[in-house]
A and B are shown apart, each in its own frame.
Chain A
Amino acid sequence: MFDRLKAMLIKEFIQVFRDPRMRIVLFVLPVLQTVIFGYAVNMDVRNIPTAILDRDNSSESRQLAATMTSSGYFRITNHISSDNEAQALLDRGTVRVVLNVEHGFSQRLQRGETVPLQVLLDGSDSNTAGVIMGYLARLTTDYNISIRSDYSLRHLGQTLSIGQVELASRAWFNSNLASPPFYVPAVITNILFIITMLLSSMAIVREKELGTIEQVIVTPIRKGEFILGKTLPFVLIGYIDVILISLVGMLVFDVPLRGSLWLLFFATTLFLMSSLGIGLLISTVSQTQQQAMMSAFFIIFPTMLLSGFAFPIENMPQPVQWLTLLNPLRFYLVIIRGIFLKGIGIAVLWQQLAALTLLGVSLLGIAVLRFRKTLG
């Protein structure tokens, strides 16, 4: 009954595992990539290299600098004495922030005036610049409070007590607001997508290129048996990679797995239908491995960038947001982050699961329909 499928699977597994490069690509690279991305893909802004142009050179200005360094966000790397130096440092990217303390800073403060503090920011990385401005605003407020209490202590002999609001925030799902718990699940989705889509498309096109497909399609093998034989190995490899990357995430980066493992596997199966479907579709339109590779790359980039892995979909223009509804990665990402970080289940994720099912069935269906047991 399953003779032919068995023969296909045995053949495919021998071919995949006999090639040492393939073993590395399939199992070692995903782990390495997770480790590297886990450390590197980090949106935290800390230890910002900062230059200070202190024309006042008073205890107040030094206290200001101390407030900044003790916060842990800023690191005073350069003490400079001219605007030209500031320009040069920002041009070279040596520092991201230049603080300009004007002459008379302390005197004006003591006179009770409002003194401007000039800050020059490297705005080429708009995201980081925004974060830095937030920090600076907070530090300035802290500094103001401290000079005010100093003032009242010195002049009134007592501390000023007025009511104030204190922020008591708690970040749910990722209490330290650490990057890895957010990115490791995204790395799983991206690696799984690339490996299964690219390799399944190449696997069939390779047979076309070598001419072996010609020999296979003159046998009574059924279309379904051939396609299953070509895709099932990648389903299995996909599961293994999901497990490997999850383990690295949990053990190395303390990513919590709060939800159900079974739901994770179920969602992965749904997602694999889409990625293998795209792979098969590419293989029906490509004649050489090079063509398949090119087509795959043109699909990989938009799919990854418009999945919400780094850039929130809500911020995209409305037409692009509609376009992302065709992106299986988008739904899988919500599911996998939900399972890992929030521990939510089908009750919450049913819409994403349904969307994945719909996309998977249609992509795979189109691919199977397009696949012909003929040449030309």
Chain B
Amino acid sequence: MIIQLSSLTRCFGSLTAVDNLTLSIPEGELFGLVGSDGAGKTTTMRMLAGVLDYTSGEAKILGCNSRDLTVVQGEIGYMSQRFGLYPDLTVAENIRFYADLFDVPAAERIARTRRLLTFSGMAPFTDRHAGRLSGGMKQKLGLCCALIHTPKLLLLDEPTNGVDPVSRRDFWRILNDLRKEGVTIVVATAYLDEAERCDRVGLLHNGRLLACDTPQNLTKLVKSNQRAPSLEDVFVELMGEQELAVPQPSIPQPAEQQPGAEASSPAVSLEQISKHFGNFIAVNGISLTVPKGQIFGFLGPNGAGKSTTIRMLCGILSPTSGKGSVAGFDITAEPERIKENIGYMSQRFSLYEDLTVEENIAFYAGIYRLAPDKRSERTEWVIRMAGLTERRSSRANELSGGWRQRLALGCAILHEPSIIFLDEPTSGVDPLSRRRFWDLIRTLARGGVTVFVTTHYMDEAEYCDRLALIYRGELVAVGTPDELKKERAVDGVLPSLEDVFIGLIEEHDRT
């Protein structure tokens, strides 16, 4: 066994981050550790890498106690969430630095560097500064640095977080090649589709291992008679059992919407809108229209210009050129009128951490000037919608991802806006909360609210009425999910949205 954990526990004060974890991983296995934010993935990975001490239990890594890994340190490659790349050093200099740290002899270093660079497709960028690489390339460079001393065991903590689908696919191709060479790999991830590619998967929730098996066996755990249950269904089901105590929120219908300036105008319309930051073109001539009452999905890899576009629509960033209107108001001339009619939720769920649930709601109720009678009615509505009845006096920083997300949504739609903008509303949230969140969104849309949402989860894109794909600031495709799939169908077989997405991006890169 490469890794042998028995009753491994780690506490931070009163919080048990990892609870009684027993697990063994044999040589050559690709093991996936799956869980949402705060599930204990990073804590586990750090204990495996020997950089964090455990509270009780035992962890044996390559036969050594993880409290003292000095002997086997050279056999372990560890890539933390923010792998320590030096932005001012070039790709080659970064690799060389890590090679020197591990005392790799010069001849060997040169040979291995060449091999790793070819293998990862980074060879053309040897002289580029790490700080100027894209997210996906940074991850690949991080991996090269972690592999320079040819470790037996590779520990990867969320290596593909926030990386676009194309780079993610490349990354997994590399991992597969490494596995063939006999490297044992433990990878922590929040993406369940990635977990399906592992030999075995451990589902971690609130520090406890809910299940651990091959993906095939895990899907058999689903009791409901779905035809082809995915790992996500497994997760939702297993976690659902754990969270039975949480009351299912009943979703009240929002009240009748006030019409915008012109009842017949589309909710959002953009004409050749661009935004430049210095020399950098973040958004390049995007035009699109979103009719009222639609769920409009805005897809694209990190840095494609999604957030920039949403911010221009919300009137908090002024476009360099082009025209646009939201709720019938011009985005450059009347940003303050727009703000009265929209709800906006940024990807960081910007709540005041030191304020309680009720205080957060009261703050936004005051800012939106809700009438006193309306105020208590809407407060109750948000608290019920978010399922926070029992936690109304908890501080926001005590809430877990899903609750925070629903509270942030509640604060953003307290004033019953006719259009809501959601910027990656589900990043880092567990699958169960994600499902609940999308139920809410669909209920709102049925009530006539227009929803403009960005995401990089392809399964979520399926929930949208219409999609737009944006890449490097340009609009690559617009259409309903079915239309997009049909355009790229091969012999009548519809590809997945992810394949569509990757295909379109590759096509765009060629032109």
Contacts and interface: CB of A to CB of B under 8 A. Distances in A.
A36 B2 CA distance: 61
B339 A219 contact: yes
A214 B349 CA distance: 10
Contacts of B348: 210-211, 214
Contact of B350 (A6, A19, A211, A376): A211
A7 B346 CA distance: 21
A15 interface: yes
A215 B355 CA distance: 15
A217 B412 CA distance: 12
Interface string B338-382: 011010111010111111000100111111110000000000000
B367 A7 contact: yes
B35 interface: no
A374 B317 contact: yes
B352 A15 contact: yes
Contacts of A373: 316, 335
Contacts of B363: 7-8, 10-11
Find the residue from B354, B359, B367 having the highest chain A CB count within 10 A.
B367
Interface in A1-44: 3-4, 6-8, 10-11, 14-15, 18-19
B352, B359, B408: residue with the most chain A Cβ atoms closer than 10 Å:
B352
Interface in B314-350: 314-318, 335-336, 339-340, 342, 344-346, 348, 350
Contacts of A19: 354
Interface string A360-376: 00000000000001111
Q: Which of B354, B365, B366, B368 has its CB near the most chain A CB atoms (within 10 A)?
A: B366
Interface string B188-211: 000000000000000000000000
A221 interface: yes
Given A4-B367, A374-B316, A14 B344 contact: no
Contacts of B277: 376
A6 B368 contact: no
A218 interface: yes
Nearest to B408: A215
B318 to A, nearest CB: 6
Contacts of B408: 215
Given A217-B316, A218-B316, A14 B367 contact: no
B316 A219 contact: no
A220 interface: yes
A107 interface: no
A212 interface: yes
A214 B352 contact: no
A210 B347 CA distance: 11
Nearest to B369: A3
Contacts of B317: 374-376
Interface residues of A, number: 27
A216 B348 CA distance: 13
A23 to B, nearest CB: 13
B468 interface: no
Nearest to B395: A18
A39 B328 CA distance: 67
Contacts of A11: 352, 355, 359, 363
Contacts of B369: 3-4, 220
A4 B366 CA distance: 5
B349 to A, nearest CB: 9
Contacts of A374: 315-318, 335
B316 A6 contact: no
Contact of B352 (A212, A221, A375): A212
A220 B368 contact: yes
A316 B350 CA distance: 50
Interface residues of B, number: 34
Nearest to B375: A3
A375 B311 contact: yes
Interface string A191-235: 000000000000000000011111111111100000000000000
A257 B439 CA distance: 67
B314 A218 contact: yes
Nearest to A219: B367
A18 B359 CA distance: 12
Nearest to A15: B354
Contact of B362 (A7, A218, A219, A376): A7
B411 A10 contact: no
Nearest to B337: A220
A254 to B, nearest CB: 41
Contact of A3 (B316, B353, B355, B366): B366
A107 B18 CA distance: 91
B92 to A, nearest CB: 31
Interface string B276-309: 0100000000000000000000000000000000
Contacts of A4: 366-367, 369
Contact of B340 (A7, A214, A220, A376): A220
Interface string A131-159: 00000000000000000000000000000
A19 B342 CA distance: 33
A218 B368 CA distance: 11
B366 A210 contact: no
Given A7-B366, A11-B363, A373-B316, A215 B344 contact: yes
A245 B85 CA distance: 49
Nearest to B368: A219
Centre residue among A210, A214, A217 by max chain B CB count within 10 A: A214
A215 B368 contact: no
Contacts of B365: 7
Contacts of A215: 344-346, 350, 408, 411-412
**Most B Cβ at <10 Å: residue of A3, A6, A219, A375:** A219
Contacts of B336: 220
A129 to B, nearest CB: 50
A91 B369 CA distance: 71
Given A4-B369, A14-B359, A210 B339 contact: no
A215 B342 CA distance: 12
A19 B397 CA distance: 14
Nearest to B282: A376
Given A15-B352, A15-B355, A214-B316, A219 B364 contact: yes
B351 A212 contact: yes
B376 to A, nearest CB: 15
Contacts of A14: 354-355, 359
Interface centre among B277, B316, B364, B411 (most CB of A within 10 A): B316
B477 to A, nearest CB: 27
A287 to B, nearest CB: 14
Contact of B339 (A8, A214, A220): A220
A14 B358 CA distance: 12
Contacts of B364: 7, 219
Contacts of B351: 212
B12 to A, nearest CB: 20
Contact of A214 (B318, B350, B366, B411): B350
26 contacts: A7-B364, A7-B365, A8-B363, A8-B367, A11-B363, A15-B354, A18-B354, A19-B354, A210-B348, A210-B353, A211-B346, A211-B348, A211-B350, A214-B350, A215-B346, A218-B315, A218-B339, A218-B342, A220-B336, A220-B340, A220-B368, A373-B316, A374-B317, A375-B316, A376-B277, A376-B317
5 tightest A-B CB contacts, nearest first? A7-B366, A215-B350, A218-B344, A211-B348, A212-B350
Given A8-B366, A14-B359, A215-B346, 9 more contacts: A4-B367, A8-B363, A11-B355, A11-B363, A19-B354, A220-B339, A374-B318, A375-B311, A375-B317
